[in-house]
Amino acid sequence: GQQLNQSPQSMFIQEGEDVSMNCTSSSIFNTWLWYKQEPGEGPVLLIALYKAGELTSNGRLTAQFGITRKDSFLNISASIPSDVGIYFCAGRLGAQKLVFGQGTRLTINP
Amino acid sequence: DAGVIQSPRHEVTEMGQEVTLRCKPISGHDYLFWYRQTMMRGLELLIYFNNNVPIDDSGMPEDRFSAKMPNASFSTLKIQPSEPRDSAVYFCASSPPTVLGTDTQYFGPGTRLTVL
């Protein structure tokens, strides 16, 4: 089936540092999404991207839809302790189905 | 709104037993999704419904799994008989009708299933 390659798998950073993670696919997607999951909770949508080349921000978060439509990245600037969690990318195949990456686990040292 | 509600939050059962997971979607949402999350396979879509009708069940692992949506406010995912490899966190998500598709999926807190 469809797979998304998300990297890195985990990150250990100092508070205040910037974070960058990305997803790549062998298939073209028409939508890229970024979710965050905290322990004991379901994923929460952070950013949705609908057009190739699109760059969208949500506070300290910025995400881009790759020109080839096969990749996307998420940046977090000036990380804070509440940014800790697992970040997932997801691509929308058709009208409804989402395919999720394996996640990037972010740990922040205060 | 209370968000997507799932019950139970935790379930421990023995191999061979029947397990039923429950979900109440957000009122007004007409799409409902069941996902399974494991360390090995990540987040996988099992099945989704639109207006209570199953649209795609290609992710259901085998015949032991079944899902129903008898009305717009309730869905169940049943495993019978359960096996240890079914141990995972099962999420329900719902989405409002939108011309853009189901990007804004709202996830419930999940049910952590352990099959001994």
Report A:15-44 residues touching B (Cβ under 8 A). Answer: 31, 33, 40-44
The answer to whether residue B53 scores a pLDDT higher than 70 is yes
B48 CB within 8 Å of a chain A CB: yes
**HEC profile for chain B?**
CCCCEEECCEEEECCCCCEEEEEECCCCCCEEEEEEEECCCEEEEEEEEECCEEEECCCCCCCCEEEEEEECCEEEEEECCCCHHHCEEEEEEEECCCCCCCCCCEECCCEEEEEC
Optimal mutation site among B49, B56, B105, interface A, most CBs of chain A within 10 A: B105
Query: Which residue of B31, B37, B41, B43 to mutate against A (max A Cβ within 10 Å)?
Result: B43
Q: Cβ–Cβ of B4/A96 closer than 8 Å?
A: no
| pLDDT, averaged across chain B | 92
Instruction: Give the pLDDT confidence of A32-82 residue by residue, as tens digits.
Output: 999 999 998 999 999 999 899 999 999 999 999 999 999 999 999 999 999
Determine whether the interchain pair A42/B110 forms a contact, defined as Cβ–Cβ distance below 8 Å. Answer: yes
